[in-house]
Protein backbone atom coordinates (compact mmCIF):
# COMPACT_ATOMS: atom_id res chain seq x y z
CA UNK A 1 0.00 0.00 0.00
CA UNK A 2 1.23 3.47 -0.94
CA UNK A 3 -0.55 6.54 0.41
CA UNK A 4 -0.32 9.82 -1.46
CA UNK A 5 0.15 7.73 -4.60
CA UNK A 6 -1.37 10.20 -7.02
CA UNK A 7 1.69 12.41 -7.44
CA UNK A 8 5.31 13.08 -6.50
CA UNK A 9 7.19 10.62 -4.35
CA UNK A 10 4.15 8.42 -3.79
CA UNK A 11 3.56 8.05 -7.52
CA UNK A 12 7.20 7.26 -8.20
CA UNK A 13 7.34 4.62 -5.45
CA UNK A 14 4.05 3.04 -6.55
CA UNK A 15 5.25 2.80 -10.15
CA UNK A 16 8.58 1.30 -9.03
CA UNK A 17 6.82 -1.36 -6.95
CA UNK A 18 4.22 -2.19 -9.60
CA UNK A 19 6.88 -2.59 -12.27
CA UNK A 20 8.85 -4.83 -9.90
CA UNK A 21 5.88 -7.18 -9.66
CA UNK A 22 4.26 -6.04 -6.43
CA UNK A 23 0.50 -5.89 -6.07
CA UNK A 24 -0.09 -2.33 -4.88
CA UNK A 25 -3.02 -0.47 -3.35
CA UNK A 26 -2.82 3.19 -4.37
CA UNK A 27 -4.43 5.62 -1.93
CA UNK A 28 -4.98 9.33 -2.43
CA UNK A 29 -7.56 12.10 -2.44
CA UNK A 30 -8.16 12.19 -6.21
CA UNK A 31 -9.33 9.08 -8.03
CA UNK A 32 -8.18 10.29 -11.44
CA UNK A 33 -4.55 10.83 -10.40
CA UNK A 34 -4.43 7.36 -8.84
CA UNK A 35 -5.64 5.91 -12.13
CA UNK A 36 -2.93 7.87 -13.93
CA UNK A 37 -0.30 6.38 -11.62
CA UNK A 38 -1.51 2.85 -12.32
CA UNK A 39 -1.61 3.56 -16.06
CA UNK A 40 1.95 4.90 -16.01
CA UNK A 41 3.13 1.73 -14.27
CA UNK A 42 1.37 -0.39 -16.88
CA UNK A 43 2.89 1.62 -19.71
CA UNK A 44 -0.49 2.65 -21.07
CA UNK A 45 -1.88 6.07 -21.86
CA UNK A 46 -3.92 8.18 -19.49
CA UNK A 47 -7.61 7.39 -19.63
CA UNK A 48 -7.06 3.64 -20.10
CA UNK A 49 -9.98 1.36 -19.41
CA UNK A 50 -10.33 0.44 -15.76
CA UNK A 51 -11.71 -2.64 -14.06
CA UNK A 52 -14.16 -1.85 -11.23
CA UNK A 53 -13.62 -3.59 -7.91
CA UNK A 54 -16.59 -3.93 -5.52
CA UNK A 55 -16.37 -2.24 -2.15
CA UNK A 56 -18.74 -1.89 0.76
CA UNK A 57 -18.15 1.81 1.36
CA UNK A 58 -20.30 3.85 -1.05
CA UNK A 59 -18.21 6.98 -0.44
CA UNK A 60 -15.01 5.27 -1.59
CA UNK A 61 -14.44 4.59 -5.29
CA UNK A 62 -12.17 1.66 -6.07
CA UNK A 63 -10.82 0.73 -9.47
CA UNK A 64 -7.70 -0.38 -11.31
CA UNK A 65 -6.43 -0.35 -14.88
CA UNK A 66 -6.73 -3.87 -16.26
CA UNK A 67 -3.06 -3.99 -17.24
CA UNK A 68 -1.71 -3.62 -13.70
CA UNK A 69 -2.14 -5.37 -10.37
CA UNK A 70 -3.17 -2.09 -8.80
CA UNK A 71 -6.07 -1.16 -6.58
CA UNK A 72 -6.97 2.56 -6.60
CA UNK A 73 -8.83 3.75 -3.52
CA UNK A 74 -9.86 7.35 -3.04
CA UNK A 75 -8.79 8.12 0.54
CA UNK A 76 -8.37 11.08 2.87
CA UNK A 77 -5.93 9.65 5.42
CA UNK A 78 -7.01 12.20 8.05
CA UNK A 79 -10.49 10.61 8.13
CA UNK A 80 -10.70 7.40 10.21
CA UNK A 81 -13.63 6.13 8.15
CA UNK A 82 -11.67 6.54 4.90
CA UNK A 83 -8.70 4.66 6.35
CA UNK A 84 -10.96 1.85 7.55
CA UNK A 85 -12.50 1.59 4.06
CA UNK A 86 -9.04 1.54 2.47
CA UNK A 87 -7.81 -1.36 4.57
CA UNK A 88 -11.06 -3.23 4.08
CA UNK A 89 -10.64 -2.91 0.31
CA UNK A 90 -7.08 -4.22 0.55
CA UNK A 91 -8.16 -7.25 2.58
CA UNK A 92 -10.97 -7.97 0.13
CA UNK A 93 -8.71 -7.70 -2.91
CA UNK A 94 -5.34 -9.06 -1.78
CA UNK A 95 -6.06 -10.98 1.42
CA UNK A 96 -3.04 -9.65 3.27
CA UNK A 97 -0.76 -6.60 3.60
CA UNK A 98 3.03 -6.94 3.47
CA UNK A 99 4.05 -3.29 3.07
CA UNK A 100 2.74 0.16 3.93
CA UNK A 101 4.59 3.16 2.53
CA UNK A 102 3.16 5.87 4.77
CA UNK A 103 3.73 8.78 2.42
CA UNK A 104 0.69 11.10 2.31
CA UNK A 105 1.56 14.59 3.50
CA UNK A 106 1.38 18.31 2.91
CA UNK A 107 3.70 21.27 3.38
CA UNK A 108 0.77 23.42 4.37
CA UNK A 109 1.05 27.20 4.00
CA UNK A 110 4.81 27.44 3.56
CA UNK A 111 6.55 30.68 4.34
CA UNK A 112 4.12 31.83 7.03
CA UNK A 113 5.80 33.13 10.23
CA UNK A 114 4.82 31.28 13.38
CA UNK A 115 2.99 34.28 14.85
CA UNK A 116 0.83 34.59 11.72
CA UNK A 117 -0.01 30.89 11.23
CA UNK A 118 -3.74 30.25 11.45
CA UNK A 119 -4.79 27.42 13.75
CA UNK A 120 -6.83 25.81 10.97
CA UNK A 121 -3.70 25.67 8.80
CA UNK A 122 -1.70 24.13 11.65
CA UNK A 123 -4.46 21.59 12.26
CA UNK A 124 -4.65 20.63 8.58
CA UNK A 125 -0.93 19.81 8.46
CA UNK A 126 -1.06 17.86 11.73
CA UNK A 127 -4.18 15.96 10.66
CA UNK A 128 -2.60 14.92 7.36
CA UNK A 129 1.07 14.39 8.19
CA UNK A 130 0.83 12.99 11.71
CA UNK A 131 -2.71 11.84 12.44
CA UNK A 132 -3.05 10.36 8.96
CA UNK A 133 0.24 8.52 9.31
CA UNK A 134 -0.84 7.17 12.69
CA UNK A 135 -4.24 6.00 11.43
CA UNK A 136 -2.67 4.14 8.51
CA UNK A 137 0.13 2.69 10.63
CA UNK A 138 -2.34 1.54 13.29
CA UNK A 139 -4.55 -0.17 10.71
CA UNK A 140 -1.51 -1.78 9.04
CA UNK A 141 -0.19 -2.94 12.42
CA UNK A 142 -3.52 -4.60 13.24
CA UNK A 143 -3.71 -6.39 9.91
CA UNK A 144 -0.06 -7.50 9.96
CA UNK A 145 -0.46 -8.79 13.51
CA UNK A 146 -3.59 -10.79 12.70
CA UNK A 147 -2.70 -12.22 9.28
CA UNK A 148 -1.11 -15.60 8.64
CA UNK A 149 1.83 -15.70 8.09
CA UNK A 150 2.17 -12.89 10.61
CA UNK A 151 4.18 -9.73 9.99
CA UNK A 152 4.95 -7.04 7.45
CA UNK A 153 6.81 -3.77 7.00
CA UNK A 154 5.89 -0.11 7.50
CA UNK A 155 8.05 2.60 5.91
CA UNK A 156 7.30 6.16 7.01
CA UNK A 157 8.18 9.10 4.78
CA UNK A 158 10.04 11.50 7.05
CA UNK A 159 12.02 14.38 5.64
CA UNK A 160 15.20 16.35 6.05
CA UNK A 161 12.81 18.43 8.18
CA UNK A 162 12.70 15.52 10.62
CA UNK A 163 16.26 16.64 11.45
CA UNK A 164 16.41 20.40 10.87
CA UNK A 165 13.78 23.00 9.91
CA UNK A 166 13.46 25.47 7.12
CA UNK A 167 12.45 29.03 8.04
CA UNK A 168 8.70 29.52 8.61
CA UNK A 169 7.84 25.80 8.52
CA UNK A 170 6.79 25.08 12.10
CA UNK A 171 3.78 22.86 11.32
CA UNK A 172 5.56 20.73 8.74
CA UNK A 173 8.72 20.46 10.83
CA UNK A 174 6.84 19.55 14.01
CA UNK A 175 4.94 16.76 12.27
CA UNK A 176 8.07 15.35 10.64
CA UNK A 177 9.90 15.30 13.97
CA UNK A 178 6.88 13.50 15.42
CA UNK A 179 7.05 10.90 12.64
CA UNK A 180 10.47 9.88 13.91
CA UNK A 181 8.93 9.05 17.28
CA UNK A 182 6.12 7.19 15.53
CA UNK A 183 8.70 5.15 13.60
CA UNK A 184 10.68 4.23 16.70
CA UNK A 185 7.60 3.23 18.68
CA UNK A 186 6.22 1.12 15.84
CA UNK A 187 9.58 -0.54 15.38
CA UNK A 188 9.75 -1.47 19.06
CA UNK A 189 6.11 -2.50 19.46
CA UNK A 190 6.20 -4.54 16.27
CA UNK A 191 9.03 -6.84 17.34
CA UNK A 192 6.85 -9.60 18.84
CA UNK A 193 4.75 -9.77 15.65
CA UNK A 194 7.45 -9.66 12.93
CA UNK A 195 6.44 -6.12 12.02
CA UNK A 196 9.43 -4.05 10.90
CA UNK A 197 9.26 -0.27 10.71
CA UNK A 198 11.74 2.13 9.16
CA UNK A 199 11.84 5.70 7.92
CA UNK A 200 13.19 7.38 4.81
CA UNK A 201 14.18 11.04 5.17
CA UNK A 202 14.16 12.71 1.78
CA UNK A 203 15.81 15.93 0.73
CA UNK A 204 14.97 17.82 -2.48
CA UNK A 205 13.51 15.12 -4.68
CA UNK A 206 12.34 16.71 -7.92
CA UNK A 207 8.52 16.85 -7.80
CA UNK A 208 5.87 19.49 -8.37
CA UNK A 209 5.97 20.27 -4.63
CA UNK A 210 9.70 21.08 -4.75
CA UNK A 211 9.73 23.03 -8.02
CA UNK A 212 10.25 26.32 -6.15
CA UNK A 213 13.61 25.08 -4.88
CA UNK A 214 15.10 25.41 -8.36
CA UNK A 215 14.26 29.11 -8.61
CA UNK A 216 15.00 30.18 -5.05
CA UNK A 217 13.89 29.30 -1.54
CA UNK A 218 14.37 31.07 1.78
CA UNK A 219 17.56 30.09 3.62
CA UNK A 220 18.37 30.28 7.33
CA UNK A 221 20.36 33.49 6.80
CA UNK A 222 17.35 35.23 5.28
CA UNK A 223 18.54 35.04 1.68
CA UNK A 224 16.77 33.42 -1.24
CA UNK A 225 18.84 30.82 -3.06
CA UNK A 226 18.18 28.01 -5.54
CA UNK A 227 18.89 24.49 -4.31
CA UNK A 228 19.87 21.36 -6.24
CA UNK A 229 17.36 18.54 -6.59
CA UNK A 230 17.66 14.84 -7.35
CA UNK A 231 15.61 12.52 -9.53
CA UNK A 232 12.61 11.20 -7.61
CA UNK A 233 13.28 7.74 -9.05
CA UNK A 234 16.37 7.54 -6.83
CA UNK A 235 14.04 7.78 -3.83
CA UNK A 236 11.75 5.11 -5.27
CA UNK A 237 14.60 2.66 -5.71
CA UNK A 238 15.66 3.23 -2.11
CA UNK A 239 12.15 2.53 -0.84
CA UNK A 240 12.02 -0.62 -2.94
CA UNK A 241 15.32 -1.80 -1.43
CA UNK A 242 13.96 -1.22 2.08
CA UNK A 243 10.71 -2.97 1.18
CA UNK A 244 12.33 -6.09 -0.28
CA UNK A 245 14.56 -6.90 2.68
CA UNK A 246 13.60 -10.01 4.66
CA UNK A 247 11.74 -9.15 7.87
CA UNK A 248 14.81 -10.24 9.83
CA UNK A 249 16.56 -7.11 8.47
CA UNK A 250 15.45 -3.49 8.65
CA UNK A 251 16.68 -0.12 7.45
CA UNK A 252 15.73 1.85 10.56
CA UNK A 253 16.53 5.26 9.08
CA UNK A 254 17.74 6.21 5.61
CA UNK A 255 18.56 9.73 4.42
CA UNK A 256 18.46 10.27 0.66
CA UNK A 257 19.15 13.76 -0.58
CA UNK A 258 20.47 15.84 -3.43
CA UNK A 259 24.23 15.65 -2.87
CA UNK A 260 24.88 19.39 -2.74
CA UNK A 261 21.75 20.61 -0.95
CA UNK A 262 22.35 22.73 2.16
CA UNK A 263 21.55 20.10 4.76
CA UNK A 264 24.75 19.26 6.66
CA UNK A 265 25.61 22.94 6.71
CA UNK A 266 22.09 24.31 7.06
CA UNK A 267 21.94 27.27 9.39
Question: Mind telling me the catalytic residues?
Answer: 172
Q: How many of the other CB atoms lie within 10 Å of CB of 188?
A: 10
Inter-residue contact 206 to 230 (CB < 8 Å): yes
The answer for 37, left when phi > 0, alpha when psi is -120 to 50, beta otherwise, is alpha
How far apart are alpha carbons 166 and 177 in whole angstroms? 13
Q: Which of 156, 161, 180 is nearest to 77 (CA)?
A: 156
Q: Which of 68, 25, 73, 24 is nearest to 49 (CA)?
A: 68
Q: What is the 3-state secondary structure (H, E, C) of 178-194?
A: HHHHHHHHHHHHCHHHC
How far apart are alpha carbons 146 and 96 in whole angstroms? 10
How far apart are alpha carbons 233 and 240 in whole angstroms? 10
Inter-residue contact 42 to 56 (CB < 8 Å): no
Amino acid sequence: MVTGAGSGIGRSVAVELLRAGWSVALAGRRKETLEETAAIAAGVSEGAAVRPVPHAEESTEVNAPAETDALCVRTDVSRPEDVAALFSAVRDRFGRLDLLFNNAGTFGPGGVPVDELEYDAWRHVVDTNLNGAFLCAQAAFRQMKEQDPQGGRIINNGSISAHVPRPHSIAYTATKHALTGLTKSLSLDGRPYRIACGQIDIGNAATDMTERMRTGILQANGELAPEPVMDVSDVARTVRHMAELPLEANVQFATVLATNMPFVGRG
